Amino acid sequence: MKIALAQINPTVGDLAGNARLIISFAREAASQGADLVVFPELCITGYPPLDLLDNEAFLAAASRTMTHVAASVPESLGIVLGCPLKNPSPVGKRLINAAVVFEAGREIGRASKVLLPTYDVFDEYRYFEPGTTGRPIEFRGLRLGLHVCEDMWNNEEQADYHLYAANPIDELAAQGIDLFLNISASPFSHGKHERRNEILTEICAEHLVPFVLVNQVGANTEVLFDGDSRVHLADGSLAACAPSFQEALIMWDTDAKPRQCEMPHDRIGDMHDALVMGIRDYVAKTRAFEKALVGLSGGIDSAVTAALAVAALGPDHVDGVTLPSRYSSTGSVTDSRALADNLGMTLHEIAIAPAVESFEKMLSPLFEGTAFGVAEENIQARTRGVTLMAISNKFGHLLLTTGNKSELSVGYATLYGDMSGGLAVLADVFKEDVYALARYINQRADRELIPLATIDKPPSAELRPDQRDSDSLPPYEVLDAILERYVEGLEDVEQIEAATGFERSLIERILGMVDRNEYKRRQAPPGLRVSAKAFGMGRRLPIVMKPTFREALALQPTTDA
């Protein structure tokens, strides 16, 4: 049997557009002789549909769209689609997350997602009723062990803790199947490719059954999907694989002679491709912007943001603006101009000193007798934000914010200043990785797109004379090591101290900065997620809190009545 894996990029809510995309891929699969074409989880609606699932009209339209798609593909072709459907039981949540198999326009079987994730960016139990493991679905002599995304992730035999009691993989295998078939909308994060390899190799080794995985690709707001669809043979070896971060249709013949498939991956290269895809899809899917706009400071963050935007949209669709103030170095303008020339993008120069001076004069009666400080520094940052937003409003450009995860973590960013914009490209990229991206961009281009002067200069906000980031923060290699363990690894003071050897007082200071600045992050634009724990919808902490639990950890047991 020839099975086609249709790794597509659906748009949330665009039922008509998704239908056209699915039908186009299905017809192409049929033309290549496929017997069965498989599409990703919730491909009809796009993933994640969130509270669109509370809209009855949307649900009715999704169901009709699925029926239309099934009837519009060649009758010789079986098709597997993902769609939200009404729960047939009068008890529980109103919907199930379903994978449905059609042949000649007629439904011949379905599987309801059993394991509903409610962690990080996932909140599926808010909408769906968990299914129970179904029976294998017979299709042209093959017994398919059809299941949905998370249903395969509870099979790690060596895990210390299992999130769910059920194991749909084992339950399907016990009924006798010829093939595992998983439809997914599994987001990208660092190391996800390797984790998929491990879990699928383990499943195949345990049950001696081939495994077909079809995963969504593309970006829907901050959540990025890498695709990474593949076929593992019964011995665990990789027999077919789709490229990451792009749509693809790949074919696998169950009767063909086994062949190896190579899937080389590089952490920084994957991060680059994910961010480029995220920018491109945000612009394409919102359909609200002709161009992107980047404020260029001559620094590393804005340079990398501009390079990623040009890679995503082309140089004719990205404008840069350099906004020198009285404290800007010469390189702020010259390095920005060199970057724009290297990338082939337009650069505008707007001096903000007159506006800053006007604000200072306006505020001088109230500020008289006080020392120059953060308020005055932020006037400059906010003047830049106002200027960039004015250009964005006037010409309909998407303003990309350029701050990185290190700065956003500790609040080294100005509300309504450098945090202004519609999409935060580097919000999930630590500073050390921003430098790695810059070097990768130049290496990939085999020329100096990002000026070496920008890479080599000490980072500075340039909001006061001779300012350096190191005036307020530890070296970024130290800061990032602490932040990665706290924000992404969910470690606390003692664990970080034991692992790094850093001074406890420094760790406590950094963690305090992270906790205090939740209010800023709550007001930030959506950021593209590339780690397993990004700020935004996947990290939910209160703004108003007092983390005195660290003091409580030091309390001694008492026998007082």
Rg (CA), the chain: 26
Domain shared by 22 and 148, yes or no: yes
pLDDT at 333: 94
Residues 291 and 424 placed together within one structural domain of the fold: yes
Pair 226, 286 in one domain: no
The confidence score (pLDDT) of residue 262 equals 80
User: Is position 168 within any domain?
Assistant: yes
Q: Are residues 152 and 243 part of one domain?
A: yes
| Contact between 149 and 186 (Cβ < 8 Å) | yes
Could you tell me if residue 263 is inside a domain?
no
Query: What type of residue is 506?
Result: L
223 and 291 share one domain: no
CA pseudo-torsion sign 471, 476, 477, 479: positive
165 pLDDT band, cuts 50/70/90, is confident
pLDDT in tens, 398-411: 999 999 999 999 99
pLDDT for 559 equals 62
pLDDT at 99 over 80: yes
In a domain, 529, yes or no: no
Are residues 38 and 133 both part of a single domain?
yes
Inform me whether the pLDDT recorded for 340 exceeds 90.
yes
Whether 143 contacts 179, CB under 8 Å? yes
| Tokens of residue 64, six digits | 């009709």
Percent helix, strand, coil in the chain, to 5, is 40, 20, 40
Q: Which residue segment(s) compose the domain that 188 sits in?
A: 2-256
Is the pLDDT score of 79 beyond 90?
yes
One domain for residues 358 and 417:
yes
94 and 232 co-located in one domain: yes
- Place 222 in a pLDDT band, splitting at 50, 70 and 90: very high
pLDDT of residue 147: 98
Percent of the chain clearing pLDDT 90 (strictly above): 87
pLDDT above 60: residue 370: yes
Q: Is the confidence at residue 156, as pLDDT, over 80? A: no
Instruction: Examine the fold and report which residue of 461, 478, 495 is the final residue of a domain before the chain moves on.
Output: 478
Instruction: Tell me, yes or no, whether 395 lies in a domain.
Output: yes
Domain end point (choices 204, 225, 256): 256
Are 149 and 280 found together in one domain?
Answer: no
Contact 231, 239 (CB under 8 A): yes
pLDDT at 365 over 90: yes
Note whether residue 516 is domain-resident: no
Say whether both 293 and 349 belong to one domain. yes
Q: What is the DSSP string of 187-241?
A: B--TTHHHHHHHHHHHHHHHH---EEEEE-EEEETTEEEE---EEE-TTS-EEEE
Determine, yes or no, domain membership for 247. Answer: yes
Report the CATH number at residue 121: 3.60.110.10
Q: Residue 412 in contact with residue 392, Cβ under 8 Å?
A: no
What is the number of structural domains in the chain?
2
Residue 561 has pLDDT above 60, yes or no: no
Q: Which residues are catalytic?
A: 41, 113, 149
Last residue in a domain, options 256, 281, 315? 256
Sign of the CA dihedral with 292 first, then 419, 358, and 323 last: negative
The average confidence (pLDDT) of the chain is 94
This prediction has a pTM of 0.95
pLDDT digits (tens, 9 = 90+) for 439-497: 999 999 999 999 999 999 988 766 767 777 777 899 999 999 999 999 999 999 999 99
Query: Higher model confidence: residue 210 or residue 469?
Result: 210
Residue 11, both tokens: 């748009």
Report yes or no on 384 lying in a domain.
yes
Predicted confidence (pLDDT) at residue 305 exceeds the cutoff of 70: yes
pLDDT at 386 over 60: yes
One domain for residues 250 and 309: no
Q: Which residues contact 494 (CB under 8 A, 6 or more apart)?
A: 553
pLDDT over 70 (residue 558): no
Give the C-alpha separation, 497 to 506, whole Å.
Answer: 10
Do 49 and 150 belong to one domain?
A: yes
Task: Name 367's Cβ contacts closer than 8 Å, sequence gap at least 6.
Answer: 360, 375, 376
Contact 337, 322 (CB under 8 A): yes
Instruction: Indicate whether 134 pLDDT > 90.
Output: no
140-154 pLDDT, tens per residue? 999 999 999 999 998
**pLDDT per position as a tens digit, 231-281:** 999 999 999 999 999 999 999 999 988 888 887 899 999 999 999 999 999
Question: Judging by beta carbons within 10 Å of its beta carbon (0-12, 13-18, 19+), is residue 263 exposed, middle or buried?
Answer: middle
CATH code: domain of residue 370: 3.40.50.620
Q: Is 243 among the domain residues?
A: yes
91-109 burial by CB neighbour count: b if 16+ within 10 A, else e? Answer: eebbbbbbbbbbbeeeeeb
